């Protein structure tokens, strides 16, 4: 069973977004990867009833219009969105940013590496972790679920 729910990438840097898209292709993740360029656009997309809710959100911190912290505050305050896991994928290594993201219930914080190999390993780690986690919107009667393109059965 494959999930048709997208993975939402909130990233304003085109080069970073293209690199992440390439890693997803290389890792053969079949779920759609949807990109929004800032928190404001991402929030509008999430609140639009015509769009499927993502299984997970990969979120950059430093963006125009609405940055990652503002976006995280907004979705965690929204009862219809707060259960979507958000993994920070950013260049910021500032301990205050890390602490604030976890205080706002970010599911993880990964520092964006510079090399393609490091980025692939970072994405692989995120995929591996979430492929072993059952998300509320992935449950079904036969207890099989899919996260980031990998089908898993309840053991």
Domain boundaries along the sequence of the chain:
7-153
* CA nearest neighbour of 89 among 119, 116, 65, 115: 119
Q: What is the pLDDT of residue 140?
A: 39
Q: What is the pLDDT of residue 86?
A: 95
* CA nearest neighbour of 30 among 55, 58, 59: 55
Q: What is the pLDDT of residue 134?
A: 58
* CA nearest neighbour of 116 among 26, 9, 13, 30: 26
Residues 6 or more apart from 85 whose CB is under 8 A from it? 55, 56, 57, 107, 108, 130, 133, 135
* CA nearest neighbour of 78 among 59, 100, 104: 104
pTM for this structure? 0.81
81-111 pLDDT tens trace: 999 999 999 999 999 999 999 999 999 998 8
Would you identify the CATH topology of the domain 7-153?
A: Rossmann fold (3.40.50)
36-50 pLDDT tens trace: 999 999 999 999 988
Residue spans of the chain under pLDDT 50: 1-2, 138-155
Q: What is the pLDDT of residue 6?
A: 87
Q: What is the pLDDT of residue 120?
A: 87
Q: What is the pLDDT of residue 131?
A: 64
Q: How far is CA 110 from CA 45, 75, 88, 133, in A?
A: 24, 19, 6, 17
């Amino acid at each position: 069973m494959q999930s048709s729910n997208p993975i939402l990438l909130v990233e304003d840097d085109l080069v970073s977004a293209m690199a992440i898209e390439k890693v997803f292709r290389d890792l053969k993740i079949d779920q759609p990867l949807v990109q929004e360029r800032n928190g404001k656009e991402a929030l509008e997309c999430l609140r639009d009833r015509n769009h499927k809710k993502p299984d997970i959100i990969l979120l950059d911190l430093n963006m125009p219009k609405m940055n990652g912290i503002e976006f995280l505050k907004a979705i965690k305050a929204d009862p219809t969105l707060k259960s979507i896991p958000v993994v920070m994928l950013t260049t910021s290594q500032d301990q205050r940013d890390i602490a604030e993201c976890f205080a706002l219930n970010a599911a993880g914080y990964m520092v964006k590496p510079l090399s393609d190999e490091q980025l692939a390993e970072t994405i692989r780690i995120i995929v591996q972790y979430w492929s072993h986690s059952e998300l509320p919107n992935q449950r079904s009667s036969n207890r099989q679920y899919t996260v980031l393109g990998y089908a898993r059965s309840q053991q």
